[in-house]
Amino acid sequence: MKIYTKTGDTGTTALFGGTRVPKHHIRIESYGTVDELNSHIGLLRDQDINKSHQLFLMDIQDKLFTVGAILATDPDKAILKSGKERLNIPKISQADVETLEKAIDLMDSQLPPMTHFVLPGGHPTVSTCHVARCVCRRAERLAVALMEISPFQNTTLVYLNRLSDYLFVLARKLSNELNAEEIKWIPTKES
């Protein structure tokens, strides 16, 4: 497989299914941001963190490839006239969402209650996790914009939403495990 094809030299790219669109198309922005998120999660996974976190993050990366495939698919090319799926694209299931929820609940049960917003930071690994969380929210916003003009499997949006929650709680858990200071945001009053 050749890395460069030159087919995108004029500013277009092909969706899964063959349709060509401009590289600035909302669909490209959506799955491109999911790809960016996947890279940030890879960076987080490469940190000196608990092996169980690393394995869970690898599973998330696998699911993000599925999310990317869903977002990269031209809906007009995905289904045959007979109603059968033309492209064999995996789905994000409710069980995938529930896996994130269980992980969130488990980590949250091991942390002190949150009484304030928390400033991102305290340790490079924690900051890496917060960056991934922010990129996840951007991916979600772009996917919502795409959904408004070209609907796709709703569980995909739910997964992205829950993933950003997971990354927030993971950042708190990593702060705890790394003995990093978790700085509460307390708004300053005007004088």
- 13 falls in which pLDDT band (50, 70, 90)? low
Q: What digits encode the pLDDT tens for the residues 57-111?
A: 999 999 999 999 999 887 766 555 555 565 677 899 999 999 999 999 999 999 9
State mean pLDDT over 154-161: 97
Look at residue 40 and tell me whether its pLDDT is greater than 90: yes
Q: Which CATH fold topology does 18-76+88-112+120-181 show? A: Hypothetical Protein Ta1238; Chain: A; (1.20.1200)
Q: What is the DSSP string of the chain?
A: --S--STTTTSEEE-BTS-EEETTSHHHHHHHHHHHHHHHHHHHHTSS--HHHHHHHHHHHHHHHHHHHHHTB-HHHHB-TTSSBSS------HHHHHHHHHHHHHHHHTSPPP-SEE-S-SSHHHHHHHHHHHHHHHHHHHHHHHHHHS---HHHHHHHHHHHHHHHHHHHHHHHHTT----EE-PPPP-
Domain locations in the chain?
Answer: 18-76+88-112+120-181
> What pTM, to 2 d.p., does this model score?
0.88
